[in-house]
Amino acid sequence: MTLATRLLGAAALTLFAAPVFAQAPAPTAPQQAPVTVIHAGTLIAVPGQAPRRNASVIVQGRKILEVRDGFAEVPGARVVDLRSGTVMPGFIDMHVHMRGLDDRMQARLQAATRDYEDEAYTAQVNARRTLLAGFTTVRDLGNNPRLIFSLRDAIDQGMFAGPSIVAAGQGISVSGGHGDARNGLNRDLYHVEADRIINTCNGAEDCRRAVRDQIGLGAEVVKISATGGVLSNVAGGLNQQMMPDEMKAVVDTARSFGRKVAAHAHGVDGINAALRAGVDSIEHGTFTNDDTFKLYRQTGAYYVPTLMAPAAAVADGRRGALTAAQYAKAQQAAGNAEKSFARAIREGVKIAFGTDSGVSRHGDNAQEFALMVRNGMQPMAAIKAATVNAADLLGKSDSIGTIEPGKDADIVAVDGDPLADVSLLERMGFVMKWGQVFKLGGQRQLTAVD
């Protein structure tokens, strides 16, 4: 129960239970938010800059109050001893799907029996796993709008443990494209879906309508499917599906509402068209050419590589968890994401961390770091992609992404040196979000929201 709730509860009891002529109680001084001091053996306060040794992070309530050299002693403060570890800003995953079962085979087998409530409870579990893995903020790029916006709000209100969520609602797709829920359905189910679909569009005017519909439901970012996708049950490859005038209409409409646009894009033609249309990020970015990297530099768009997703999809295909159309596209994509990622590093493209969790298992998000390093990125640059760069792409650099006074106390730590062994990030030892400790010594801390 929050302080505000307790105070409101006390006021309500006084109003309804006290005699009419009773003297009102004297006002009490507001309580100070509790203080926590984190003693960091190594502190990566601003990823991309040199780490600090033997430093203290002083947290009061939700915010970072101060960063000091040495191991500070603050009277009455809780001390968290992380002298043997490396302390960093909470990680940000820029591409997740919180809804649904991780196991694609089980998802297919149970599809006819799962209802909205099943999906909501599963999303809650996925959110907790993600937070405990060290990801204190995520961008959800495709979900049932009511489910994801309700989960976002419940977490923000302290009802559930989970990361802060920036959500797109449903991704916008052309009819028959990646994101059209009717693909591959029999005639009865097709008409059921058709009656409730608002995220598909055809032509620039209709795509403007689709953007406004998602924003009206609560979308904070707009996602489009510029190309085919691996897990849509439709043949036709991974090439461009949304036309340039449709993409431009989406971008212009989103801008008028102050929203950024993320473009799911695999094929090079769709990637380049989306960049020319002015999108803020390319998701996946599997196939590229010389023009692609020129456009990245010209537009300043971010690349969110999601290297975990192709391997997870191929593994699902091998065990029969994908349809024939899906498996063919998974095989087509396999290996090419890594090649484009390696070149993006050489070309100096802005890169933000993303996993496409939901294709891979929620809670395994940090495995992306090792893939990034294996394909040419330095560990510090990978950490920066999941903090400083991701915060910039979200437009939230004023509140997250670094450990500095005035910012949210989203802080994580691992034992040892992740700059020497980036796989340590897969074994998160400490997680704090908004000043509350959710994991300490590698163990989940029970809280009121658990």
Least confident range from 46-55, 116-125, 247-256: namely 116-125
Q: Quote the CA–CA distance of 296 and 427 in Å, as a whole number.
A: 34
| Relative orientation angle of helices 336-347 and 308-318, to the nearest 10 degrees | 170
Please give the average per-residue pLDDT across 143-161, as a whole number: 94
- 32 vs 62, more confident: 62
Paired strand residues for 82? 40
pLDDT of the residue at 422: 98
pLDDT of the residue at 195: 53
Output the CA–CA distances (angstroms, integers) from residue 291 to 52, 268, 344, in the order listed. 40, 9, 12
- 329 vs 215, more confident: 215
Residue 412 three-state SS: strand
Q: Are 264 and 232 in contact (CB under 8 A)?
A: no
Q: Are 164 and 156 in contact (CB under 8 A)?
A: yes
Q: Quote the CA–CA distance of 99 and 446 in Å, as a whole number.
A: 24
Given a cut of 90, whether residue 18 has pLDDT beyond it is: no
Please give the average per-residue pLDDT across 391-406, as a whole number: 98
pLDDT of the residue at 7: 34
pLDDT of the residue at 110: 62
Residue position matching structure tokens 């879906």: 193
Given a cut of 90, whether residue 369 has pLDDT beyond it is: yes
Q: Are strands 63-69 and 173-174 parallel, antiparallel or unpaired?
A: unpaired
Instruction: Please measure the distance between the N-terminal and C-terminal CA atoms of the chain and give it in whole angstroms.
Output: 13
Given a cut of 50, whether residue 416 has pLDDT beyond it is: yes
Least confident range from 141-145, 182-186, 361-365: namely 182-186
Q: In what order do the strands lie in the sheet with 91-96?
A: 91-96, 135-140, 164-167
pLDDT class for 5, splitting at 50, 70, 90? very low
What values do phi and psi take at 440, rounded to 5?
A: -150, 135
pLDDT of the residue at 68: 98
Q: What percent of the chain has pLDDT over 70?
A: 86
Residue position matching structure tokens 């893939």: 371
| Averaged pLDDT score across all residues of the chain | 88
Q: Quote the CA–CA distance of 155 and 282 in Å, as a whole number.
A: 28
Domain annotation for the chain: domains and CATH numbers: 31-90+404-444 (2.30.40.10), 91-394 (3.20.20.140)
Please give the average per-residue pLDDT across 290-315, as a whole number: 95
Question: In the numeric block, which tokens belong to residue 18?
Answer: 């006290």
Q: Are strands 63-69 and 52-60 parallel, antiparallel or unpaired?
A: antiparallel
pLDDT class for 2, splitting at 50, 70, 90? very low
Paired strand residues for 240? 227
Q: Are strands 200-201 and 173-174 parallel, antiparallel or unpaired?
A: parallel
Residue 35 three-state SS: strand
Question: In the numeric block, which tokens belong to residue 429?
Answer: 């030892």
pLDDT class for 44, splitting at 50, 70, 90? very high
CB neighbour class for 73 (10 Å; exposed up to 12, middle 13-18, buried from 19): exposed
Which DSSP helix (H) or strand (E) runs through 13? helix 3-17
Given a cut of 50, whether residue 388 has pLDDT beyond it is: yes
Question: In the numeric block, which tokens belong to residue 391?
Answer: 């915060």
- 62 vs 311, more confident: 62
Please give the average per-residue pLDDT across 19-30, as a whole number: 48
Contacts of 272 (CB under 8 A, 6+ apart): 289, 291, 292, 295
Torsion-angle region of 416 (φ positive above 0: left; ψ -120 to 50: alpha; else: beta): left
Given a cut of 60, whether residue 191 has pLDDT beyond it is: no
Q: Quote the CA–CA distance of 403 and 415 in Å, as a whole number.
A: 18
What predicted TM-score, i.e. pTM, was given to this entire model?
Answer: 0.89
What values do phi and psi take at 126, rounded to 5?
A: -60, -40
CA angle 291, 296, 298 (to 5 degrees): 90
Which DSSP helix (H) or strand (E) runs through 164? strand 164-167
pLDDT class for 183, splitting at 50, 70, 90? low
